[in-house]
Structure formats: structure tokens, C-alpha cells
Amino acid sequence: MRVKSNFTQRLLSMALSDTAVRNAKPEPGKRVTKLHDRDGLFLHIAPTGTKSWVARYRIHGKERSIALGRYPSLGLAGARTKAQEARRTLASGVDPVQEKRRQAAEAATTDAARFAVVADDWRKRQAWSPAVRKQYDKMFERDILPALGRLPVADIDIDAVQTVVDRVAKRGKVVAGHVLLLIRGVLAQAVAKKQIPYNLAREVRAPKRPKGAKQSYRHLEGSTAVRSLLDKLDGYGGRPETVIALRLLLLCFTRPTELREARWVEFDLDAVDANGKAAPTWTIPGERMKRGRPHIIPLSDQATALLRDLQTLTGTAGWLFPHSRDTKKPMARETLLRALRDYMKLPTTVHGFRHLASTTLNAQGFNRDHIELQLAHWREDTRGAYNKAQWLPERRSMLQAWADWLDRIRVPADNVIELRGVA
């Protein structure tokens, strides 16, 4: 039988001191060395020399132990305080171990619900181009996270969001609008995960741009300019994927990024309507849309034919338009603009296709709500357009008429049948 040293016996028979704890060593040959303090507190020393504080107690007739922390991060005084807290918990009828687990779970839940954590997860899910991601990351790091990052999403109110937006608006109202959209996107995910019941950021309004400051794009005007565009698309000698992308933008007038970053899984080219009639569609998921809502685009016969041609080129790539050098990425942001500006020498931007379609269809009497919804301009004053099944049959007819008009406009002007809609 091993005889304990006088030093160890003294430590076991009296309360510990800082010096005793600092100098304590594991006893040779023992699996664990325990140096007792008082009120059930003892220092646990592993054979490796690692020291930890443990408090022992009894509950429901059973002896239990709770780990309090490691030495020297937790000193003697701190360990005694934690031991006393455990005894107070026990005195209230709660098992200290169960209470520690509950607090740990609550802390983990709280951390997961902090704005910065939710924002990080939301940002990873976005299919932004590298250039856009860099721009938005800068807004998060400079403007959003310093103010909201440490807050639980449940504690973020309208005033907190408005304060951020107003502060950014002093630098620029356009940037403030982007910041607000990013905050709305993060909180929309928190709603989806049931971390908050409602996205209060939707009640915050972006500051209005100064009169005359609205962003504009160079547009094509008149049937002669449109005919020139179509002729140059016919004569384009670059990659076929590029000219198909430009034609699809003209037919569907989506935002360029929505098309560049489209995936084949978003398309149903064989869909039929309730009457069994062909009704191909493209459904852009909400996370890729500017305002976070899914957007359904009815496809004209011409758009469907282009997509079937494109399937033979990129149908196995995932992306509709994969990058020319790295198929894991979508087409580069500059590709379409470069084709228009440098190769076709056209005085417009890709975004200008949307203006062309909108002004032409409005001028020819097509329903304004249908046009605005096709442009994904969801607004409070769009008279229920979003709620009425997104006006799919009406928009399908409008897009087919638009596609047919683009086909006809290639012929001499005096023979072109006018594009007419029903208001």
C-alpha cells in the first residue's frame, strides 16, 4: 500500500491555497490525483499534469460531479465562486449539470440567431458574381455588421435598421438603398428559419434619390434601331452562347445577372397548362431576385427554341451559360456588354433591352401591370398583379406577341404589322 507524502496529506486535510494549487503535481502511478478544497470543490490532476476544477454534490440520493473549468484559466477564487453558484442552483431544486447544459444550449441558440451569423449563412447562399460579392461584402463589413452584427435578430427593430440606412444615406442614397436590400435579405432568411416572426426591415423605406439622380442606361429607340440590332445579332461571329444570351434577354427582358447566373434546373421546357397546351416556364428562385421573391417567366415559342438549341451546347453544365474558361462559374459579367459595344458597335447596354421592351409594349397599349410584373418591378401600387397568379396567361400572350413582332420587324418597315396590345 502506497503511503501518501506529508505534503499531499496536508493538502487533503485543509483548504487549498494559491501556492498549493500552483505547485501541485500528479502522484506517480495514480490515474487521477484529487486535491480537495471545501464544499465539495477539488482540483483534478491528470497524469499529464493538466489541472481542472470539479465540484461534487448529491441530488436525489446520487453523487454527481460538475466540471467548472481548467486551471490556470480559472483560478482558486473563481473556482470557489463557481462552486458556490452550483450549490445555490442545487438548493433551488435544480441539478447544476442539467442547468449548465441548458445554458450552453441557450447560448448556442443565441449565437446562431445573431445577425452576423445569419448574415454569413445568407451571403454564402447567394449566387452573386465575384464583382457583386466584393461590393456587397464591403457594405456588410463597413456599414451593416458594425451596427447590427452582435445583435440577436429578434432584437433588431425598425429604428435600428433605419439608423443604419440613414447613416449610409449621408454618403449616398443609392448605396443606402443597396444596404437596406441586404438587411432585408438577411432578415428574410431569419423569418424562413422561424428565428423571427416578421421581417421588420420591410417597413423601412430607402431614402429617395434626388430629383434627376435616377440611374439611366443607353437605350435603343425606334424600329430602325431594333432592326439594326437584330441584323447585327444575326451576323455576330462570336461564341453561339453569347448571341443566344443576348436574344433571350431581348425576348424575356430580365436583368442581365438573372440570365447569366441561370441554371438549367430553373427551366421546364415541357410544361403544359390546365388545358394540356404547351406552357414552358422559367422560374427564378427568390434568392436570386432583387427583392427576394421567386419570379416566373412564361417562355415564348422563340425563347423555347433558343433554349433547346442551347441545351445541345451547355445542357450538362449546370449553368445555362458557363464561363468559357471555368465551367464551375457562370458567364463573366462583361461578356455581353463587350459583345454589344466592342464587336457589334451598338450604342446601348444590355440593361437597355429592358427599357426597349417596356417603352415599346407600353406605347402599343399592353397592360402596364403585366409589363411591370414581367420586369419584376413589384410595387405597392401594382394593382394586385403579384397576387393574381402572376398574370401568367396574360404575360405569355404578351411575350409571344413581342417575340412575333421582333421576327416581323426584320422586313421592310412599310410591311411590318404593328404590335398591338389590350390595355
Does the pLDDT value for residue 111 go beyond 50? yes
Q: Pick the residue with more confidence: 206 or 135?
A: 135
Q: What is the mean pLDDT of residues 95-114?
A: 69
CATH of domain 222-415: 1.10.443.10
**In this predicted structure, what is the pLDDT of residue 281?**
93
Residues of the chain with CATH 3.30.160.390: 6-98
Q: What gap in Å lies between CA 269 and CA 221, rounded to an integer?
A: 32
Instruction: Identify the burial level of 415 via C-beta atoms within 10 angstroms of its C-beta, where 0-12 means exposed, 13-18 middle and 19 or more buried.
Output: exposed
CB hemisphere CA count around 16 (13 angstroms): 26
**pLDDT tens-digit series, residues 67-103:** 888 898 889 999 999 898 888 888 888 888 887 777 6
**In this predicted structure, what is the pLDDT of residue 11?**
44
CB 251 within 8 A of CB 302: yes
pLDDT band at 343 (very low <50, low <70, confident <90, very high): confident
Q: What gap in Å lies between CA 267 and CA 308, rounded to an integer?
A: 11
Task: Please state whether the peptide bond connecting residue 72 to the residue before it is cis, i.e. omega within 30 degrees of 0.
Answer: yes
Q: What are phi and psi of 367, to 5 degrees?
A: -60, 125
Domain 115-203 bears CATH identifier 1.10.150.130: yes
**Biggest alpha carbon–alpha carbon distance for the chain:** 116
Q: What gap in Å lies between CA 287 and CA 127, rounded to an integer?
A: 8
Residues of the chain with CATH 1.10.150.130: 115-203
Smallest CA-to-CA distance from 235 within 336, 352, 339 is with 339
The domain defined by 6-98 folds into Double Stranded RNA Binding Domain (3.30.160)
Contacts for 121-130: CB closer than 8 Å, 24+ residues apart: 121/189, 122/185, 122/186, 122/189, 125/189, 125/287, 126/185, 126/287, 126/288, 127/261, 127/287, 127/288, 127/330, 129/257, 129/260, 129/261, 129/330, 129/333
**In this predicted structure, what is the pLDDT of residue 233?**
80
Q: Model pTM? A: 0.48
User: Can you spell out the DSSP letters for 68-123?
Assistant: EEEETTS-HHHHHHHHHHHHHHHHTT--HHHHHHHHHHHHHHHHHTBHHHHHHHHH
Name the H helices within 298-381.
301-314, 335-338, 352-363, 368-374
Q: What is the mean pLDDT of residues 118-123?
A: 91
What would the grid cell of residue 50 be?
493538466
| The 295-298 sheet, strands edge to edge | 267-268, 281-284, 295-298
Residues of the chain with CATH 1.10.443.10: 222-415
**In this predicted structure, what is the pLDDT of residue 319?**
92
**In this predicted structure, what is the pLDDT of residue 418?**
57
